[in-house]
Structure 1
Amino acid sequence: MKNLNQTQSKIFTLLGLISLLIPFSIYGLWIYVIDLGTTQKERVAIFKDYFPDFLNGRWSTTLLSIFFCALSITFSFMSIKSSEKLWKILNNIILISSSLLLLLNLLSMM
């Protein structure tokens, strides 16, 4: 792959960050819902009420989260060779967070 200029690298970093926010928001919503229901069945029903009907399948939100984690890893990996230290650190944080969240999603499917 050809070298990216600084602007393209920053855009890919921001796209990676935005892609990472979607899986984090799904997990944040699940943590919020844990306190709302008394049984696991009630918690799952409350959690599914926050999403549209096409995301109410058993693995729909998990697969969506896996997709956006992989997208975030891809964007971050594309711009990891940025010459500015702040952007390089941000890319590493995005890459590590996305990888850990991807593993969490994959292991939760077992």
Structure 2
Amino acid sequence: MNDKNNERVFKMSFASVYPHYVTKIEKKNRSVEELHQVIFWLTGYNDDQLKSIIEDNINFRDFFDKAPQLNLNVGLIKGVICGYRVEDIEDPLMQKIRYLDKLVDELAKGKNMDKILRS
């Protein structure tokens, strides 16, 4: 991805993408609670914080900049998402966004929660 495309993604509100995550996982009989578990594992957010992020239309840059604690095991997230290997993405913010995309994708594909959360 080029810097212009990255910047466009960084400015997107999390709230605008969140319904797509929900639709994707629910089509595969996964729950919103599981989606939240994945988001909380990655970012350290909790239910109240996530609700505020959605209500306040926080963009992806701020979503990750203000995350309480990026999980120490994010380096264990590997594989291809959107045509890119997540472990090879050079821009740190884009890599975090793709980590989230990868986790949501694994959830939708029916992967066991222990494997998704790298337990």
Looking at secondary structure, tell me which structure has more helix per residue.
1
TM-score interval w.r.t. the shorter chain? Answer: 0.3 to 0.5
What TM-score do the two structures reach when normalised by structure 1? 0.33
Which has the higher Rg, Structure 1 or Structure 2?
A: 1
Question: Greater relative contact order: 1 or 2 (C-alpha under 8 angstroms, separation 6 or more)?
Answer: 1
